[in-house]
Amino acid sequence: MERKPLILIVEDEKEIAKFIDLELQAENYDTIVSYDGVTGLSKFREHGPDLVVLDLMMPVLDGLEVARRIRKTSNTPIIILTAKDSVDNKVIGLDAGADDYLVKPFSIEELLARVRAHLRRVNPAVTGEVRVADLVMNLDGREVFRDGRRIELSAKEFELLELFARNPGKVFNRFEIEEKVWPEYTGGSNVVDVYVGYLRRKLEVEGGRLIHTIRGVGYVLREDSGPGEA
Amino acid sequence: MRLRLQLTLVFGAFIAIILSAVAVSVYFLTERSLSAGVADQAQSALAEITGGTSTIAEGLQKLPSNSYHQILFVGAPDRPPSTVSALRIGVSYFSNSNLLGPLSDNALQRLLDDGEVAATVNLGGESISVLGRLGTVSFPREERSMPAAFLVGIPVNLMTATLDQLKRDLVVTVVLAFLVFALGVWVLSERVLSSLKSVTEAAGHVSGSDLSRRVPVPASGDEITDLALSINHMLDRLQESFETQRRFTADASHELRTPVTAIGGHVSYLLRRTHPTGDQLDSLEVIQRESERMAKLVNDLLELARADAGFTVELQPMNLVEVVETVRKEVAPMARGAVIEVSTRTPLVEVQGDPARLKQVVLNLVQNAINAGAEKVTMSIAVERHQVRLEVLDDGSGIVPEAVPHLFERFYRVDGARSGRGNGSGLGLAIVKWLVQQHGGSVEVESRLGEGSVFTVLLPASDKRTLVDHQPGRATLVDGLKTWAGGSGRSG
């Protein structure tokens, strides 16, 4: 019989830890709760959970430091919770090794969806998932990861990437793309080129090129075949 | 009136009055002393010829060369004249000119009454000061004396000319002095006021969103330095209290996030994971709704605290059409039966923006419309020359005209309107305004009571190239060809 996924909750606010715990148990996960960073870290080492939900602002050892120490030895997904939502804080959190980021007050459905997505990512046997190189698309959860990092896409960006990812190596011309992703409009814009630009900006900041231009034809999604690509 | 002009006029008028007074007195003093000189000359000449110290011929020789004289016998011996006509028929004894003729009857009467007269007459175009005296000419050999009129005339043309010249000189001097002085005041006041002006300008640049600026303090050490220093001191304290208030809002909101999250999380757990009775369900839903509202309020307050802190949004090229479509999809299920429509010609209108923030703008406007009781909300996007026009049109209750100017103020509520207008926090439209301004745009509203409202957001166009591509008609042709070429290339 398959083992239930084990989730470690590190959160100094007991009332918040409590309902996250209740919800995760109701979703049929095993949980461990700790109320500070030091205990959290030792419980992580002791139990080796499948996923960590980590509060950022905690006394003694804060969430950033806990994330950094976990990352030294493990690839376990970390979802950070925080009351601060400025861009800087997000960047710092993600740089410390967190895989995802939720700002309080968050909806519990959102957290549960992220937990599911990250657990699926570490467990490749789950269906509804497309992988090309280090790109992982979770079609049910409508989530995209590149190299383990969750990437936020708009609805149309996701649809466009999904079209490519379901047909890796297939070259699409602009007309086909427009018909599939923007069926309600009848051409007459460079929307495809612009959206390929948006996707590249988000997906290819780190890591190689994924969406390649085939001059005079269209676009194709495939693993970077090295230099010499247009 | 500007201070500079006032100073110049006041000081100019003052100096003009003083100079004029001086000039007038100089003129009259000069005139008096000149006239006195002429009178003295005539008196001494008369004294010479009537004094009896010398003969008349000798006395006459002592008169100035340019002077005139006339000695007439008037009346019979030892019988002085008694009427003006007696004087007029007098016989000239010694004379080099007729001085009696031009004298008026009045003057002659005075001569009869007082025995002496002074008058100015015009003789052949020359102005002459005439001094006359009645007396007698003695003839010692005949032992009798004849009553006589002695008249001496001294030309005063020279004096009049001198006085005229003086008058002209004085007028020119006064006018010149006035001009020079006024110019001096004008220039000097500019120098003094320019530092005041720079202080004023700098103070004008200090705004609510940027209290960190300070007024330049001139090194002159005068009253303007004091002014600049006290303005800066005032700004320090203003910034301090503003900063305190902002930090308080931010801190309070942060602190509220944790309990709000806990309440929302627990109520959500109870609602979804347990089986509450009907009454409990109602109660739990109230808690959930209110905690959501509180969460919204906390987020809005933080957003505005960020606005006050001068936080700027990060702009990147993005598609406004998708933002609007996303809002429509999200709002439609919660729209209380209202129809939400999107009207655009093209799937792509690029602007420089932060997608999440612009989504909040559109969301707030649409929720505002739904809360105003709209049955149909239309979002439209149009590309204009240098800007993108996003309109949110509703057929809701409309806004009373008095409320329109205050609509974008924080916590402003339209009197009599339901309290839930806006996004429920009373901050929705204030946030809309701030976010739109952060994107370099503007937002305005037009409304008719009972008919509905239009909120118009104007954003600067992303760049010209994108805009040209989206001009209706032309874009269709260009892109149509492009797609066609792409398609045929692939099939061939």
* pLDDT tens sequence across B295-323: 888 888 888 887 777 777 888 889 999 99
**Does the residue A226 lie in any domain?**
no
Contact by Cβ (8 Å): B352, B316: yes
**Does the residue A141 lie in any domain?**
yes
Count of CB atoms within 10 A of residue B226's CB?
A: 11
Residues A19, A31: Cα–Cα separation, whole Å: 12
Residues A188, B349: Cα–Cα separation, whole Å: 12
Tokens read off for B371: 């809360």
Nearest to A83 among B258, B350, B483 (CB): B258
Contact by Cβ (8 Å): B453, B443: no
pLDDT of B482: 39
Backbone phi, then psi, for A128, in 5-degree steps?
Answer: 70, 20
Domain boundary among A96, A122, A148: A122
Nearest to A189 among B264, B317, B470 (CB): B470
Residues A222, A215: Cα–Cα separation, whole Å: 15
Identify the residue among B288, B481, B482, B483 best suited for mutation to test binding to A, counting A beta carbons within 10 A and taking the highest: B483
Identify the residue among B258, B315, B359, B474 best suited for mutation to test binding to A, counting A beta carbons within 10 A and taking the highest: B258
**Cβ–Cβ below 8 Å for B347 and A189:** yes
N- to C-terminal Cα distance for chain B? 81
**Does the residue A142 lie in any domain?**
yes
Domain boundary among A122, A154, A178: A122
Give me chain A's average pLDDT, please.
85
**Does the residue A14 lie in any domain?**
yes
Contact by Cβ (8 Å): A11, A23: no
Pair (A134, A171) in one structural domain? yes
**Residue B134 vs residues A12, B8, B128: alpha-carbon distances, Å:** 133, 61, 19
Tokens read off for B41: 């000359």
pLDDT of B320: 92
**Cβ–Cβ below 8 Å for A217 and B489:** yes
**Does the residue A81 lie in any domain?**
yes
Residues B479, B477: Cα–Cα separation, whole Å: 6
Pair (A117, A154) in one structural domain? no
Pair (A172, A100) in one structural domain? no
Identify the residue among A189, A214, A217, A220 best suited for mutation to test binding to B, counting B beta carbons within 10 A and taking the highest: A189
- Specify the DSSP element, H or E, that contains B432: helix B428-438
Q: Which residue of chain A comes nearest to B473, CA vs CA?
A: A188
Backbone phi, then psi, for B482, in 5-degree steps?
Answer: -60, -50
**Does the residue A70 lie in any domain?**
yes
How many structural domains does chain A have? 2
Domain boundary among A75, A96, A122: A122
Structural domain boundaries enclosing A73: 6-122
Q: In what order do the strands lie in the sheet with B144-155?
A: B91-95, B68-73, B144-155, B126-139, B116-123
Pair (A28, A112) in one structural domain? yes
ipTM for the predicted complex comes to 0.71
Q: pLDDT at residue B484 above 60?
A: no
What is the reported pTM? Answer: 0.59
pLDDT band for position B419 (cuts 50, 70, 90): very low
Residues B409, A67: Cα–Cα separation, whole Å: 42
Q: Which residues of A touch B254 (CB under 8 A)?
A: 83-84
DSSP percent split of chain A into helix, strand, coil, nearest 5: 40, 20, 40
**Residue B47 vs residues A187, B64, B98, B404, B457: alpha-carbon distances, Å:** 126, 14, 20, 101, 107
Pair (A115, A163) in one structural domain? no
Pair (A63, A159) in one structural domain? no
pLDDT band for position B209 (cuts 50, 70, 90): low
Count of CB atoms within 10 A of residue A38's CB?
A: 15
A205 close to B (CB below 8 A): no
Give me chain B's average pLDDT, please.
80
Distance from CA of B326 to the nearest CA of A (A): 8
A97: CATH? 3.40.50.2300
Distance from CA of A1 to the nearest CA of B (A): 26
**Cβ–Cβ below 8 Å for A156 and B319:** yes
Q: What is the pLDDT of residues B68-112, one digit of tens each?
A: 888 888 877 767 777 777 777 778 887 787 877 888 888 888 887
Residues B87, B100: Cα–Cα separation, whole Å: 9
List of domains in chain B: 3-163 (3.30.450), 223-308 (1.10.287.130), 316-482 (3.30.565.10)
Identify the residue among B348, B354, B470, B481 best suited for mutation to test binding to A, counting A beta carbons within 10 A and taking the highest: B348
Q: Which residues of B touch A187 (CB under 8 A)?
A: 476, 479-480, 483
Q: Which residue of chain B comes nearest to A182, CA vs CA?
A: B347
Pair (A85, A46) in one structural domain? yes
**Cβ–Cβ below 8 Å for A23 and B273:** yes
A:113-172 residues touching chain B, CB 8 A cutoff: 154-156, 171
Contact by Cβ (8 Å): B355, B392: no
Residues A8, A10: Cα–Cα separation, whole Å: 6
**Does the residue A99 lie in any domain?**
yes
Pair (A188, A141) in one structural domain? yes
Pair (A10, A116) in one structural domain? yes
Q: pLDDT at residue B29 above 80?
A: yes
A193 close to B (CB below 8 A): no
Pair (A114, A144) in one structural domain? no
**Does the residue A211 lie in any domain?**
yes
Q: Count how many residues are written for chain A.
A: 230
Nearest to B347 among A87, A108, A182 (CB): A182
Q: Which residues of A touch B489 (CB under 8 A)?
A: 173, 216-217
Pair (A90, A159) in one structural domain? no
A185: CATH? 1.10.10.10
Contact by Cβ (8 Å): B443, B436: yes
Nearest to B261 among A85, A104, A174 (CB): A104
pLDDT of B287: 92
pLDDT band for position B24 (cuts 50, 70, 90): very high
Pair (A135, A86) in one structural domain? no
Residues B263, B294: Cα–Cα separation, whole Å: 10
Count of CB atoms within 10 A of residue B288's CB?
A: 17
**Residue B236 vs residues B211, B230, B318: alpha-carbon distances, Å:** 8, 10, 40
Q: pLDDT at residue B147 above 90?
A: no
Residues A69, A63: Cα–Cα separation, whole Å: 10
**Cβ–Cβ below 8 Å for A191 and B325:** no
